[in-house]
Amino acid sequence: MKRGDDLLYLFIDFFVNLCVLIALIFIYLKIIWKLDLRNKSLYYTGIIHGAAGGVLGCILLNFSIEISGVDLRFIPVLLLVMYAGAFPSMIGASIIIIERLMLVLDVHSSAVASLLLMILLVIGFIVINKLARNGNPYKKGLWMTLFYNSLFSIMLVFLVQDLRGNMTLDIDSSLPGE
């Protein structure tokens, strides 16, 4: 495959992820408006919002961008923290973590890193949301996205170093005729 083909597939996967995200947010909002959660308890509404955000994150996890391995599952957690609160975001993140572990069915360094990343993201998003309580939602979203990118970059550095340390070549056993 040529580099141009990889770039095309990257944009196609990104477009599909954005379409899934926008469509599911629209469906989520229609369902929430239909349920009329204004008079319900905060615990009940938190579970509904968290479950919906978790399902959205799981769907985005299954449609991750193939070439780069990047997925947009952090966006539902970010939106939950900003608009629904800490409790629903923890429920949504827990659902995403469980799906990620079930998807892999094997605990290895990237699965542990993904679990740790989601836990740190929820904590960081909640802290950023608390610090900028009355701030501009665009600025909060920008800070949360920068926080995600920083954590994800650090995680990738450690994963690449782990891969580099585990890659050994046994030349003697690979020679034919021995």
Give tens-digit pLDDT for 28-59. 888 888 888 778 888 888 999 999 999 988 88
Share of the chain above pLDDT 90, in %: 27
The conformation of residue 40, written as its DSSP 8-state character, comes to S
Q: Is 63 or 122 the better-scoring residue by pLDDT?
A: 122
**Cβ neighbours for 72, distance < 8 A, ≥ 6 positions apart:** 17, 18, 21, 60
Provide the whole-model pTM.
0.77
pLDDT value of residue 8: 81
Distance (Å, whole) CA 80 – CA 49? 7
Q: Among 26, 125, 6, 127, which Cα is nearest to 69's?
A: 6
Calculate mean pLDDT across residues 49-73.
78
Q: What is the mean pLDDT of the chain?
A: 81
Calculate mean pLDDT across residues 112-121.
87
Q: Angle between the 86-104 and 109-131 helix axes, to the nearest 10 degrees?
A: 170
Q: pLDDT-derived band of residue 177, with 50, 70 and 90 as boundaries?
A: very low
Calculate mean pLDDT across residues 135-152.
91
